[in-house]
Structure 1
Amino acid sequence: MENDAIRLRDVSRVHTAGGHPVTALDRVSLDFPRGTFTAVMGPSGSGKSTLLQCAAGLDRPTSGTVTLGGTDLGRLSETRLTLLRRDRIGFVFQAFNLLPALTAEQNVALPLRLAGRRPADAEVREALARVGLADRARHRPARMSGGQQQRVALARALITRPEVLFADEPTGALDSRTGRDVLTLLRAMADTEHQTVVMVTHDPVAASYADRVVFLADGRLSGGLAGANAQDIAAHMTTLEAAPC
């Protein structure tokens, strides 16, 4: 089994805006090794979300290749790509996207039910216990704090035991203390579960939880830092934001 969970090779993504082509990603080549936690940062409009969407198979690149565990996503039909995302990829977003009429355990079980599986109660409870919410299984989202809802969303993403967990601004709607709790969980997923985590964030403190930070500017890679603290990450971001267009 190859060491990289995700590989991007010369990936470009060109959109059309107002009748004109706009390059969101420009020949990006990047590897995400298995069992690592990577943060993706960059100024607004740098291509962070487009990178995540292409890497996760939510968007198809205009050119270049994306492989997940050796599977070339570009060779898959839409149906097979949908099945791959369901079975092998997990997602956590800034918006928790929980169904308000369902309890925590019902929300967590939903991906398995959509896949035609009847989840065991113990399986669902274990997923909630992993995020510290075993005692909230029967609570609906309205009875939970934002941090608890995000942890339910994390349990829902992890119950299928995906090869890669993609997180798009997962702490953006949380206060700093609650955000730290979620980041600590993501860190633990890489350390103890050998999960591959890819997180887009604008927050240098959040990024400091990752093994490395990769930076984008104008759709291109613009350096990276490994094992950096929040101050060093913020300083690099300041340099990117101050660079002339």
Structure 2
Amino acid sequence: MSEAVRTDAVSMDRVSKVYGKGRGAVAALREVSAGIPRGRFTAVMGPSGSGKSTFLHCAAGLDTPTSGSVRLGDTELSAMNETKLTELRRQRVGFVFQAFNLVSSLTVEQNITLPLRLARTRVDRKWLDEVVGRVGLSERTGHRPAQLSGGQQQRVAIARALVTRPEVVFGDEPTGALDTMTARDVLALLRETVDAMGQTVVMVTHDPVAASYADTVLFLADGRIVDTMDAPSGGKVAARMTRLGAWK
């Protein structure tokens, strides 16, 4: 186990998540065990209702498993109360969602540094400038979200996720609201954060092309991991999803 702690950014051990009780209970995850390696890009795919969003929420400490263990690095999450989990998410985890979740009244720079201000942490100017440069927004820091394209807004969200130097960045359908060309730019940026910055990225997606940017794809069906694929291509992922019954 100690070896897994050193090499995995996130480890899940027999994690189950059940919503509701009695006859109305729904098992979203069923005894899922998985290790998310550090410094790698992992995509999570599956048919609608397969449990992929629940997987991400449990892995990120946004939701508490019904049973099983989730660790961020060597920190066990299941024993933490909501206050401690909020603190952990703020300091050690970054999030990028399909909706950009930017504050319309704040500038690009203020949106990016918002997690630091919420945590009452000093802004490291050099790191901020590097992150802003990496996402290609150096000329836009004084703009407000309404003055940006969808792709630029998602770049702001990615910079906001990176500015706290998180151990893991979780993306929940981060390209779902973008057109094809813009989505590719955002995916290339996520890929670059892994290759050039050593970031760990976990992304839930329904798009085989998006998954092809990852190092590894985990396939979920009926709340279980049913397959993994290294060095994925869009075609191979699409074929595997078809066999899972995702598209009929």
TM-score scaled by length of structure 1: 0.96
Residues 94 and 17 (structure 1), Cα distance of their counterparts in 2 relative to 1, 3 Å cut: farther
The question of whether the paired residues in 1 share the 8 Å contact of 2:241 and 2:247 is answered with no
Query: Unpaired runs of 5+ in structure 1?
Result: none
1:10 paired residue among 11, 14, 27? 14
Alignment of 1:201-240 (within 5 A): 201-240=205-244
Q: State the SS of the aligned residue for 1:171.
A: coil
The question of whether the paired residues in 2 share the 8 Å contact of 1:91 and 1:157 is answered with yes
Identity %: 61
Partner amino acid, structure 2, of 1:11 = V
Q: Displacement of 1:112 after TM fit?
A: 0.5
Q: Displacement of 1:120 after TM fit?
A: 4.6
Q: State the SS of the aligned residue for 1:157.
A: helix
Cα deviations by residue, 1:179-216 (Å, 9 ceiling, x for unpaired): 11110111111111111100000000000000010100
Residues 5 and 120 (structure 1), Cα distance of their counterparts in 2 relative to 1, 3 Å cut: closer
Residues 102 and 3 (structure 1), Cα distance of their counterparts in 2 relative to 1, 3 Å cut: same
Q: Displacement of 1:43 after TM fit?
A: 0.2
Query: Unpaired runs of 5+ in structure 2?
Result: none
1:163 paired residue among 146, 150, 167? 167
Question: Within 2, Cα distance between the matches of 1:36 and 1:119?
Answer: 26
Question: Within 1, Cα distance between the matches of 2:166 and 2:23?
Answer: 38
Structure 2 counterpart of 1:141? 145
1:66 paired residue among 53, 63, 70? 70
Residues 75 and 17 (structure 1), Cα distance of their counterparts in 2 relative to 1, 3 Å cut: closer
The question of whether the paired residues in 2 share the 8 Å contact of 1:11 and 1:62 is answered with yes
1:79 paired residue among 67, 77, 83? 83
Question: Within 2, Cα distance between the matches of 1:56 and 1:150?
Answer: 20
Q: Alpha carbon RMSD of aligned pairs, Å?
A: 1.6
Alignment of 1:117-128 (within 5 A): 117-128=121-132
The question of whether the paired residues in 2 share the 8 Å contact of 1:105 and 1:125 is answered with no
Question: Within 1, Cα distance between the matches of 2:169 and 2:146?
Answer: 25
Question: Within 2, Cα distance between the matches of 1:21 and 1:243?
Answer: 26
The question of whether the paired residues in 1 share the 8 Å contact of 2:47 and 2:246 is answered with no
Question: Within 1, Cα distance between the matches of 2:158 and 2:147?
Answer: 17
Are 1:173 and 2:177 counterparts? yes
Question: Within 2, Cα distance between the matches of 1:33 and 1:75?
Answer: 23
Aligned residues: 244
Are 1:153 and 2:180 counterparts? no
The question of whether the paired residues in 1 share the 8 Å contact of 2:93 and 2:168 is answered with yes
Structure 1 counterpart of 2:49? 45
Q: Displacement of 1:78 after TM fit?
A: 1.5
Cα deviations by residue, 1:115-170 (Å, 9 ceiling, x for unpaired): 11242544433321110110000010000000000000000010000000000000
Question: Within 1, Cα distance between the matches of 2:107 and 2:243?
Answer: 45
Question: Within 1, Cα distance between the matches of 2:81 and 2:226?
Answer: 32
Question: Within 2, Cα distance between the matches of 1:54 and 1:190?
Answer: 22
Q: State the SS of the aligned residue for 1:170.
A: coil
2:60 paired residue among 56, 62, 71? 56
